Amino acid sequence: MAKTPIVGRRRWVIGFLLGAGILINYFDRVNISVAAPQLQQEFGLTPADLGLLFSAFFWSYAILQIPIGIVLDRLGVMTVSRIGAFLWGVASGIVAFATGFGFIFGARVLLGVAEAPAFPANSKATGYWFPRGERATATAWPASTGSSGRRAGRRWRRHAGTGPRFAGRGQGPAPRRPRGREARWPYAG
């Protein structure tokens, strides 16, 4: 078996860029929940409309996971990643100029299409750039940034007053949860 040639330090720059792409990917997934109160007010959206907007991304994203792997094998990481990045920008532009629910919904579906190649492309790029002995570390980096993106998105939602710690959208904090002795002895006075 031929030994995989080790690419210089550049492979770690590539690994960092792959991780940064996944971090931005996760920010993009949750940003609509931060803007939900403003979208609801601006476009007169119902809670059901918001639910559709929140889920629209995941419909196309989930449906395309296996087909995008086949496309990646045929066209390669560079081509598919470039197309995905272009569509990602188009989807963001559509949201910026949206005039109603339909445009935002379409943009969220397109965003799911654009971001579907992210993880499969990262896995394939890791296989190209990293020798077998470093692939686990190289794969863990983008995966950990994805988790960081979810946590940061939750923090943004809390800061915006729309997260789970808040009673309503922009209505201020929910009542404080009892802690310590208060939690154990609620009637201790």
Structural domains in the chain plus CATH codes: 10-158 (1.20.1250.20)
Q: What is the pTM of this model?
A: 0.70
Q: How far is CA 46 from CA 50, 52, 95, 137, 157, in A?
A: 6, 10, 18, 44, 19
State which of 29-33, 48-52, 121-125 shows the largest mean pLDDT. Answer: 48-52
pLDDT of residue 154: 57
Residues 128, 6: contact at Cβ < 8 Å? no
